[in-house]
A and B are shown apart, each in its own frame.
Chain A
């Protein structure tokens, strides 16, 4: 009887996150659908102007979507070489002592609060970019990309390193036995074997970057224009929601439009996570681990 009770309690706990997820999805749909009776969904997504508080308001979120896309792309260009590179070093080259120090340090980077990264971006990166590129302002997509890239590095490194670790020792031994050197073994055996695991790492890094809010709010500049280069200020979706939600009257079109942005953002990260899950499952099957 007692055992059954414990089982029940833990089952409830296990299903709680499912309940939260369903609740979020429900609220997101409920609060965002009203906007589409006022604005055509195509015009909402592909509209070029975000003037939510003028009359008549304009709810075009293309600049916000593209801003998120640019910043995420930029962050990937930073965190993939850094994350995968450090994972390769940790797994293949570092001695056990180095590894014991480096790996926790990389993971420590993940625990730095994002507002601290934001400050770092504002105070250090902004004036630096301003000087180097002779810009009117250093608050740009590039700034956000650099800071987000560093923030996503631990995610990428940690998961990529796990993936490399899962490659069975026998693969390497077989490769060496065939006369391959270390470089050949790494590029032609280990990396292909860990490939989908590394892809998972990159995708999760992407969803980390696209969902980040505080940092982009602080360093991306906040101008809702379609970006043409990395050196322009941008306004990613998360920043728009965070900055405007507090003062949008509850139940107004602006309020519903912000929820619709959140819904789009949620669907994007949801898809990223599903892709990551599928890819990593394939990876486990390929290595003969249980699927």
Chain B
């Protein structure tokens, strides 16, 4: 029965969070209520920013939901949310649909997402191409000697398949191909870095905010990842993150976006492991 109780505690945690997330304020103050929906990559930024924003403006209510970029944009088009989080630009088909519905999506780039590809410091390699990294992650190459390194098996380390980081890497490097099933799936950026630190043949990827001196970041297509190369869009494993609003944002929605773009908001972006614009 011990296990049953443990499981109940887990459930309680899960639902506890869900409930606080959806706790509705008094009706009739919709002006101050903002619903945000969409990309799980942007979710941590939106969530953390919403918490701080609500603490500073206790009379407002920000509801943040995940679901994915497509879900968020669809919801914006159906006027079910005020802000759609997206890790990609809106598609033409979505834009057409929005126009028919009388919705005018306006993009706000709120942060950059940059992923560093890391190896153990003892690895002699310093650079790989995106194609080579893809071959490693899909299983076409499984020994470092095929890439000019030591004769050593490659230990592929990845983020969990439900994380935004995994999704970004899948789009930017793997181009939709599947990660080899025996990759070590780790639950956090720190866990990925920690495995790479302790495993000589490992390769992994982490958000730029999680780089440290114990791992070696590789040049990808010749470019070393840094805040600068990400912001200038030179580094290939990076992409802008968007919040879409219907037309020019007004009221609390505008205040919230202004908050994210402010120095304080961009600090939250950095803290969540993304690249702030300032």
User: Which A residues are within 8 Å of any B CB, using their own CB?
Assistant: 17, 20-21, 23-24, 27, 49-54, 63, 122, 126-127, 130, 136-139, 207-208, 211, 217-218, 221-225, 232-233, 235, 242-250, 252, 254, 262, 266, 269-270, 273
- Could you say which residues of chain A place their CB within 8 Å of the CB of B198? 122, 126-127, 138
B195, CB-defined interface residue at 8 Å: yes
Bound-state CA distance A241–B59 (Å) is: 36
* Cβ contact within 8 Å between B185 and A243: yes
**Which one, A49, A122, A224, A249, contacts B68 given CB within 8 A?**
A249
With A53-B167, A54-B178, A139-B184 already in contact, the answer to whether A23 and B66 are too (CB < 8 A) is no
- Could you say which residues of chain B place their CB within 8 Å of the CB of A273? 1, 3
For the A-B complex with A20-B8, A246-B162 known, give 9 more contacts whose Cβ atoms are closer than 8 Å: A24-B11, A52-B162, A53-B162, A130-B199, A207-B3, A223-B184, A242-B10, A266-B7, A273-B1
Main secondary structure of the interface of B (DSSP, over half): mixed
Task: Give the total of B residues in contact with A, Cβ under 8 Å.
Answer: 45
Bound-state CA distance A211–B10 (Å) is: 12
B202, CB-defined interface residue at 8 Å: yes
29 A-B residue pairings within 8 Å (CB atoms): A17-B1, A20-B8, A21-B4, A23-B8, A51-B161, A54-B178, A122-B194, A127-B198, A136-B152, A136-B153, A139-B184, A139-B195, A207-B3, A208-B3, A211-B7, A221-B184, A222-B160, A223-B184, A224-B181, A233-B184, A243-B160, A245-B14, A247-B43, A247-B160, A247-B163, A249-B67, A254-B162, A269-B3, A273-B3
B182, CB-defined interface residue at 8 Å: yes
Bound-state CA distance A207–B5 (Å) is: 13
* Cβ contact within 8 Å between B40 and A249: yes
With A137-B199, A223-B183, A225-B181 already in contact, the answer to whether A53 and B14 are too (CB < 8 A) is no
* Cβ contact within 8 Å between B182 and A233: yes
B147, CB-defined interface residue at 8 Å: no
Interface members, chain B 160-177 (any A CB < 8 Å) = 160-164, 166-167
**Which one, A24, A207, A235, contacts B8 given CB within 8 A?**
A24
* Cβ contact within 8 Å between B40 and A223: no
Interface centre among A54, A235, A242 (most CB of B within 10 A): A54
**Which one, B71, B164, B199, contacts A136 given CB within 8 A?**
B199
**Which one, A20, A27, A222, A252, contacts B5 given CB within 8 A?**
A20
- Could you say which residues of chain A place their CB within 8 Å of the CB of B162? 52-53, 243-244, 246-248, 254
* Cβ contact within 8 Å between B18 and A250: yes
Bound-state CA distance A211–B4 (Å) is: 9
Interface string of B47-69 (1 = CB under 8 A from A): 00000000000000000011110
- Could you say which residues of chain B place their CB within 8 Å of the CB of A262? 7
Interface members, chain B 6-20 (any A CB < 8 Å) = 6-8, 10-11, 14, 18
Interface centre among B3, B14, B163 (most CB of A within 10 A): B3
Which B residue's beta carbon lies closest to that of A20? B8
**Which one, B8, B14, B18, B182, contacts A225 given CB within 8 A?**
B182
* Cβ contact within 8 Å between A211 and B182: no
* Cβ contact within 8 Å between A223 and B182: yes
With A17-B1, A20-B5 already in contact, the answer to whether A244 and B160 are too (CB < 8 A) is yes
Which A residue's beta carbon lies closest to that of B200? A136
- Could you say which residues of chain A place their CB within 8 Å of the CB of B160? 222, 243-244, 247
B129, CB-defined interface residue at 8 Å: no
Which A residue's beta carbon lies closest to that of B21? A250
- Could you say which residues of chain B place their CB within 8 Å of the CB of A250? 18, 65-66
- Could you say which residues of chain A place their CB within 8 Å of the CB of B201? 136-137
- Could you say which residues of chain B place their CB within 8 Å of the CB of A138? 198-199
* Least distance between B134 CB and chain A CB atoms (Å): 15
* Least distance between B128 CB and chain A CB atoms (Å): 18
* Cβ contact within 8 Å between A51 and B185: no
B187, CB-defined interface residue at 8 Å: yes
With A223-B181, A233-B182, A247-B162 already in contact, the answer to whether A242 and B1 are too (CB < 8 A) is no
